[in-house]
Structure 1
Amino acid sequence: MEPTSPLPTDNSPSLAYALQHTFGRIQHSSGSFLEYLAMYLKLIKDKVHRMTIDPPIDTRVETVGLDAAGLVALADIGTVQERTVLAGTSSFLDIFVLVPGLHLQQKAPSLNAGEHPACGALTTGYVFRVENPATVFYLQRVGRTGHLTHVEVEKVAKPTTWYGTLFSILLPGQEMSLLPITAYLLAVSWGIGVFILLALTGDWWGLTMCGSLMAARFINYVIIRERSHPGWAGADEGNTEGDLLILLSQDRWVRMKGLVNDLKAVTSGQWLRRERPIESWFTAIATVSVYLVAALAGNVEQFGKILLLCLFIGSAGLLAIANTCTQQLHMHGCVLNVVGEPKKYVRRRDLTDELIAESGRNDWAIGMGMITAPTQNNESFRGGAAVVT
């Protein structure tokens, strides 16, 4: 049996091997760390590069045929016209309310359907017509068949503070009830929000379409403001109180009370004056721009088309809610309010007899054809001078 060799007393070879092995592992670990670090930095660089090129919002949606989405803007609905009538003018914030039919705003005076009802003054006996189409539309709206509706006319106090003046500029003629003003401001916010989203997505076609609609709204806003300045309303009557009976179509009767000057401001003269040539040119430009939006909407990205479609439908719904909940009419510095509940009559003659007894005269009823006038011998009756509506 061979003798076992003794353990080496010199540890230098083992120490060298251990050091070599340790340095090798450190070098390998350092290489792996540097590789991981380089890979991580590359990922960060790619992420930053994508953020500078791609929009911050993912606009990938399923393919849906929305090339004709712009045609919704041409829908012939009267929400914009009705809002213009109820406010008596146009406000600056209307620029951001983008609804179908916005190019028809200048046709707001046609909402009365051509009706100019007969009107009799219970205090003086004079008979005339209501010439203001906006007032006629409001009376058609609040009147009920076979009922007498009471309406009061009051002067709107001018703002005395800076914030009141600012509010009158941004929101002239707006009813301050909670629901109408909330719905209107939501419609404004909806338009601004969609404009911002289109900018964030980098959809420049969509942004151009939205901006074109806002430009059309701005043109109409300026022209409506210029056309709605108070014009001729007759001579000043001082603080004389007036009382009018108005006979609308479909047997709707309205009794309107207030100062004679205020009554004349909302019933006589004109609401919107005739357009000047330059105003009609700009109106045509605004109208054509809306049609161009409908024609070029196919160039908008798919997500932008969805945004525009939601904008049109949502804004129209909110503005319709605001119009429905508005119970007042602002006109030439005056406001019209319905007072109490409409009173029902079985016969129109019952209404006539009641008002004759209250006013103490019947000449207005004869002039409106509600009763007949007696002849000189009081043996027969002749027809009154009826005013046909």
Structure 2
Amino acid sequence: MNYQKYKRVFGIVLDSVGTGAAADAAKYGDVGADTLGHVGAAYHGRLALPNLGRLGISNLRDQPLLGVAPAESPLGYYGRMAEISAGKDSMDGHWEMMGLPVKQSLATFPEGFPAEIIQKLEEFSGRRVIVNHPYSGTAVIHDYGERQLDTGELIVYTSGDSVMQIAAHEDVIPLTELYRICAYARTLLNGPDIVVGRVIARPYIGPDKDHFTRTANRRDFSLEPTGETAIDRLHQAGWDTIAIGKINDIFSGRGFVRAYHNESNLDGMDHVDEVMGQDFSGFCFANLVDFDTMYGHRRDPIGFGRALMDFDQRLGTVLDRLHDDDLLVITADHGNDPGFTGTDHTRETVPLLVYSPSMHGHGTLGTRSTFADFGATVLENFNLPTGQYGSSFLRELQ
């Protein structure tokens, strides 16, 4: 099997690491959001990101990231991507990256889910549903976790995104049961009247409200892709397709030949290292979710920055191990500004950092008009048509 330029493409999504309010941020109430900028400001110039820095993380911004000087000669190419999908959730962002933007707004529930949905969920599970309105994931188990621990009820809540989240203590509702309940909830939210992007199992542990913690046994039950994605095309053409982290869930497992579940960002990077040691031809797509779940939604810029610095250290190993015929693409799926109001995702442009050891030049890729340029580039690299959305930047990597 021949490939056009790169034998292996590695895509790493830094979940929620936005780099400034998008042009349409006002539509989402997100004017002034800047995830990277506010994290840098919280560190007062002490944010140490040498590897992201030499890839051009400050070069792509209108204002350099505080503490990270623009690289005089970046390793490769840098830019930003703007989203055209109707939402700002992980599913929207990842689907669009792979050439399938979500053009119609999915259902959201600022007043909670309809009574008929809740009733069916209760009848199926044999458990009562409590809460049923928008809530912070950590706050909801603090406020209702002890009750759930005593009664065995289901904590159902949502956010500003198109999601149903179901939280339960692992000692009360075993994971197999929680997953079965979430899988049933998924069948209730596939349309035609109500279409929801994701149902998320949110198990937690701990003895009391001051010590409850969510576990890595989270699982996303996503809407199955409504059209063909770049992953489908790669798989159908016989290229290897590998998922790391929640990527497999986001695409409902469709098109991947191998998948790894992450316990954390660092565990995810262990999986990236493992796959880098494998001889394959195709695309490895990884998501590192801790930025989002642990720090963005919790509005913790210090923790967010610490996670970025931890990733940056591991990135050094990745850069050292890349082959000349490997291509690395680092980006994000949306913003989740820990210095902004509320607890929801923020509508932002996302970084685009592209590097291969075989590159002989560097420069800007500008602001791409859609996340789908990523998937189009992967497809062109493997001699496949790019589809309706996205313009490949492969030939700009000269």
TM above 0.5, one fold? no
- Structure with greater Cα Rg: 1
**TM-score, length of structure 1 as denominator length:** 0.26
Task: Select the structure that is richer in strand.
Answer: 2
Task: Select the structure that is richer in helix.
Answer: 1
**TM-score, length of structure 2 as denominator length:** 0.25
